[in-house]
Structure 1
Amino acid sequence: MTDKPKLIIYEEQTFKVGEDTFIDSAAENNNAVVFEDNCETGYFYAVDRNDDLKVLDGLHIYNVSNVTEKHKPSTLKILWTEDESKAFLSINNYYHAVFDFKNKAGYCRNGFPETTNSWTKIKERKLTDTLIDDLSKNK
């Protein structure tokens, strides 16, 4: 028996870092996320679809000026756990961020920004490979 978690790809698109990009993904249970590159930064958002896409939480993914291979196309994937409680952001097969809707938590590689909203129930937001393994299991 394998303990490999099953993540399902809901969105897969090619984009260029530094170009205006907006990619959203919603689960059937109405959990929803959005990736946005506004030509300066890349952010991943948890949103409330019932409140005109109100942002619940935002995670910094990158500053365009710091991305070394922005001239090359990148592949973005938004994956969900089978129970649709967690959304993962993958760019070029590297996990950059996760939203855990069940526990009201958001994690990204640099842990930025600190949370100041009422939705998020955690303080430590830094995403690690160990945390990815833990989060990708349906618990």
Structure 2
Amino acid sequence: MILEVEEEFIVGEDTFLDSVVPDSSHGVVFEDNLTTGYFYAIGKMPGQAILDAVHIYNVADVTDNDIPCNIKIAWTDDWQLASLLINNYCHAIFDFKNKVGYSRNAFPPSSGKWKTDNERTVLTDELIDKLLMGK
């Protein structure tokens, strides 16, 4: 795994972190807009088109949201899987090869350029092992 971003942030504060693959056409963004946290898969085209988005949290539902958190964005060595970790807990993964996003609450339904008619799959520890160990 390649650790691309690591910072501290406070849930509910305006936060924007991005990680764009070097010499590539894709990347990811984490955003806390004061009410929700979302993780986005983006195309590095002009305007950074949103390929997909997954919900991470509602600020009002996070306990101890005044305590600083550690956030990491990590990629597999081939830059095809991007993971979002908060306090070392994996909340979401984007699979750029298969054009699919996973999150712990499987919300919202697939959207953006990766939109499919299938339901979004819940990110479980077993799925994380399968995705990361299968590489």
Q: Same fold (TM over 0.5)?
A: yes
Corresponding residue number in structure 1 for 2:105:
110
Q: Does residue 134 of the first structure (1) align with residue 130 of the second (2)?
A: yes
- Give 4+ residue runs of structure 1 displaced > 6 Å after superposition: none
- Residue aligned with 1:127, SS: coil
Q: How far apart are 1:74 and its partner, in Å?
A: 0.4
Tell me which amino acid in the other structure corresponds to 1:11.
V
Q: Does residue 20 of the first structure (1) align with residue 14 of the second (2)?
A: yes
Relative distance call for 1:100 and 1:115 in structure 2 (3 A) is: same
Q: How far apart are 1:54 and its partner, in Å?
A: 1.1
Tell me which amino acid in the other structure corresponds to 2:122.
K
Correspondence for 1:67 among 62, 65, 71: 62
Relative distance call for 1:23 and 1:116 in structure 2 (3 A) is: closer
Q: How far apart are 1:30 and its partner, in Å?
A: 3.0
Q: How far apart are 1:120 and its partner, in Å?
A: 4.0
Correspondence for 1:123 among 114, 119, 131: 119
CA offsets, 1:4-59, max 9 Å, x none? xxx11000010000000000001123320000000000000001111311111100
TM-score (norm 2): 0.92
Length, aligned pairs only: 133
Relative distance call for 1:70 and 1:22 in structure 2 (3 A) is: same
Relative distance call for 1:24 and 1:118 in structure 2 (3 A) is: closer
Relative distance call for 1:132 and 1:109 in structure 2 (3 A) is: same
Q: Does residue 89 of the first structure (1) align with residue 84 of the second (2)?
A: yes
The Cα RMSD (Å) is 1.4
Identity rate, percent: 50
Correspondence for 1:9 among 3, 13, 21: 3
Structure 2: runs of 5 or more not aligned: none
Contact 1:81 1:138 in 2 (8 A): no
- Residue aligned with 2:45, SS: helix
Structure 1: runs of 5 or more not aligned: 1-6
TM-score (norm 1): 0.90
Question: Aligned equivalents of 1:88 and 1:116: distance in 2?
Answer: 19
